[in-house]
A = this chain, B = another copy of it.
Amino acid sequence: MNQDTFTTLEHLGREGLIERIKQLGLDIDDRIIEGIGDDAAVVAGNANLNQLHTTESFLEGVDFDLTFTPLHHLGAKVVMAACSDICAMNALPKWVMINLALPNRVSLEMIDAFYAGVAQACKDLEIRLIGGDLTGSHGALGITVTATGEAAPDKIVTRKGAKNGDAICVTGDLGGALAGLKILLREKKHWESSGEEVMQPDLTDYEYVVRRQLLPVCRHDLIKALEEHQIQPTSMIDLSQGLVKELITLMKASEKACYIYEAAIPVSPLTREVVNELEENLDQYSLYGGEDYELLFTLPEEGVEKFAKQFKDFVVIGKLVEDEPGSVTMQNAEGELLTFNHPGKAGETGANSNN
């Protein structure tokens, strides 16, 4: 280390920093199938089963805001977010560990609420909590979730395998989590100026989007359906940081390009309503909104036809085409072509992405 220089991390960015860590050459081993750089790491177990490992940290004030995030929702969300990275490799999560860095103001009742959420998510995902760590904190509440999964070696899907002609598929609908965050932030602002002691907004009209923000569900149902119907995606990634950013990441990793139709991007009418009320541009939500935790995957055309009969909650938004690797071209509702070939806007959600 040259102690005389100080280069800010912004200079390099998060992706640049991950590249730099990769270049340490620390992930070379004949049992490491995927090291740093995909949603989860994959290591060889025996001939029939590989292990997948992922870990994700969440910091109060950066990744979540306790003024409007109930602790039982937070407990469930962090488990879902970490397990989403295992699902994004076409594997099912099995075990989680949770570390908490606890400031004094956290009470036993708050801990109980948090773990009630953890327990609910574990039950929903049929996974187990096997350990963790507790430490003190002078400031923010810190949470780290580590998830381990398993899958047969030939089932694991990375970001690298998309082929020309493949269809680009997305589960669920997009932009809802960001719309929910915007509503919660608006209510917080209102509450802060009201002088009331406790924030108790009436969110009845916004239930869908608020739920998308506070209680996302990782798409293990897709993984189970793919397994059941013997469909193998060629590549996959989870949508924690917004569609455009994750599509570019997928195309770069696969060294391919794609063409998508804006009109095909799934957005719930309930999200659309909220965005209209906020008088904002829907694009900012559907293209750049993070934390939806839906899955983005590629399938050969014949796979789409077969799978669409079995699993209803996905749509095709475009396909892979011959073009500059990493480029994403979108035809918008007016028929105009837009090309994204940079990391795009990161969205405003504080989304905490995969490794």
A119: which B residues are within 8 A, CB to CB?
Answer: 24, 26
- Considering the complex, which residues of chain A in the window 38-78 have a beta carbon less than 8 Å from any beta carbon of chain B? 40-41, 43, 45-46, 49, 51, 53-59, 61-63, 71-72
From A129, which residue of chain B is reached at the shortest CB distance?
Answer: B26
A58: which B residues are within 8 A, CB to CB?
Answer: 135
- Considering the complex, which residues of chain A in the window 123-160 have a beta carbon less than 8 Å from any beta carbon of chain B? 128-140, 142, 144, 146, 148
- Residue contact B106 to A62, C-beta cutoff 8 Å: no
A94-102, A231-239, A284-292: which lies at the interface: A94-102
- State whether the Cβ of A104 lies closer than 8 Å to any Cβ in chain B: yes
- Residue contact B57 to A144, C-beta cutoff 8 Å: yes
Q: Which of B1, B100, B132, B354 contacts A112 (CB 8 A)?
A: B1
Known contacts A109-B6, A130-B41, A97 near B1 by CB under 8 Å? no
Number of copies of this chain in the oligomer? 2
Q: Which of B63, B94, B134 contacts A135 (CB 8 A)?
A: B63
A122: which B residues are within 8 A, CB to CB?
Answer: 26
Q: Which of B35, B59, B115, B144 contacts A136 (CB 8 A)?
A: B59
Interface size class of A (residues with CB under 8 A): 35 or more
From A28, which residue of chain B is reached at the shortest CB distance?
Answer: B128
Q: Which of B29, B54, B113, B131 contacts A128 (CB 8 A)?
A: B29
- Residue contact B130 to A32, C-beta cutoff 8 Å: yes
Report the bound CA distance from A97 to B147 in whole Å: 11
- Residue contact B138 to A107, C-beta cutoff 8 Å: no
- Residue contact A97 to B57, C-beta cutoff 8 Å: no
A10-18, A208-216, A330-338: which lies at the interface: A10-18
- Residue contact A46 to B45, C-beta cutoff 8 Å: yes
A174 to chain B, nearest CB (A): 23
A23 to chain B, nearest CB (A): 10
From A198, which residue of chain B is reached at the shortest CB distance?
Answer: B3
- State whether the Cβ of A193 lies closer than 8 Å to any Cβ in chain B: no
Q: Which of B11, B55, B94, B148 contacts A133 (CB 8 A)?
A: B55
- Pairs A-B, 9 closest by C-beta atoms: A41-B130, A1-B113, A7-B108, A26-B129, A144-B144, A139-B139, A41-B131, A131-B355, A57-B99
CB<8 Å pairs between A and B, sample of 14? A1-B113, A7-B108, A8-B108, A9-B108, A24-B118, A26-B118, A43-B148, A45-B46, A57-B99, A62-B136, A62-B138, A133-B144, A138-B140, A146-B146
With A35-B128, A142-B142 known, 19 other A-B pairs at CB within 8 A are A8-B104, A8-B108, A9-B107, A9-B108, A14-B134, A24-B115, A24-B119, A24-B129, A27-B129, A27-B130, A35-B129, A40-B131, A41-B97, A43-B94, A43-B148, A53-B97, A53-B146, A63-B135, A148-B148
Interface residues of A (CB under 8 A from B): 1-3, 5-9, 11-12, 14, 17-18, 20-21, 24, 26-29, 31-32, 35-36, 40-41, 43, 45-46, 49, 51, 53-59, 61-63, 71-72, 94-95, 97, 99-102, 104, 106-113, 115-116, 118-119, 122, 128-140, 142, 144, 146, 148, 352-355
